[in-house]
């Protein structure tokens, strides 16, 4: 098995996102400038799927409510999107992106396992923003070193805009 670079993971996620939108909704999405960090952000809806295997981490899908509603309408083929359908669609789209990632990663690099999708809203903040606990303290926290990227996407007509983030 060859060693995978973080750049390969990033490009695989970009491709997985584009493939998912094209396959499930017939929509082309375009990646913007990749940021090689996870910036703090507040978002109306965030889908999260854990990744395990030779590398562990998370795939996050984040967007504002208007984009989430449009994604839900297009993915679920419905006229109006309520909160339940938005949550279902965000979980489904995040899970599908992670599934395409898993398939591509497995073909090239070996076994990958995925967790169940979780949909939340609120602030995403990298753990390194918090000061580390003093040595020997028993505060129940743990320091984790990880690399992350944020990839913004949009449709040509700007109906949808979202971010896909990867911690690994």
Q: What is the pLDDT of residues 86-107, one digit of tens each?
A: 999 999 999 999 998 888 877 7
Region 37-41: mean pLDDT is 67
- Is 36's pLDDT higher than 70? yes
Report the share of the chain in percent with pLDDT over 90: 49
Distance CA 59, CA 47 (A): 8
Q: What are the tens digits of pLDDT across the range 10-31?
A: 888 999 999 999 999 999 999 9
CATH of 6-128+145-167, one of 3.40.50.1470, 3.40.50.2300, 1.10.357.140, 3.40.1550.10: 3.40.1550.10
The confidence score (pLDDT) of residue 142 equals 34
Domain ranges of the chain: 6-128+145-167
The confidence score (pLDDT) of residue 124 equals 61
- Is 139's pLDDT higher than 50? no
Computed over its alpha carbons, how large is the radius of gyration of the chain? Answer: 16
Sequence-distant (6+) residues with CB within 8 A of 40 are 123, 124, 125, 126, 129
Distance CA 19, CA 73 (A): 18
- Is 166's pLDDT higher than 70? yes
The alpha helices in 62-82, defined as continuous H runs, are 65-76
Region 151-159: mean pLDDT is 94
The confidence score (pLDDT) of residue 41 equals 66
- Is 44's pLDDT higher than 60? yes
């Amino acid at each position: 098995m060859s060693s995978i670079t973080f750049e390969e993971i990033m490009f695989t996620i970009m491709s997985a996102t584009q493939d998912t939108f094209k396959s499930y909704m017939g929509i082309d999405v375009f990646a913007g400038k990749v940021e090689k960090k996870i910036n703090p952000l507040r978002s109306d809806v965030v889908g999260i799927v854990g990744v395990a295997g030779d590398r562990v981490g998370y795939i996050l899908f984040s967007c504002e409510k208007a984009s989430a509603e449009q994604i839900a309408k297009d993915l679920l083929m419905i006229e109006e999107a309520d909160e339940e359908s938005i949550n279902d669609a965000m979980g489904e789209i995040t899970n599908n992106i992670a599934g395409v990632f898993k398939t591509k990663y497995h073909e090239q690099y070996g076994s990958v396992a995925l967790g169940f999708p979780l949909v939340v809203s609120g602030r995403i903040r990298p753990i390194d923003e918090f000061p580390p606990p003093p040595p020997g303290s028993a505060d129940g926290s743990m320091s984790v070193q990880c690399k992350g990227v944020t990839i913004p996407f949009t449709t040509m007509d700007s109906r949808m805009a979202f971010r896909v983030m990867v911690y690994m």
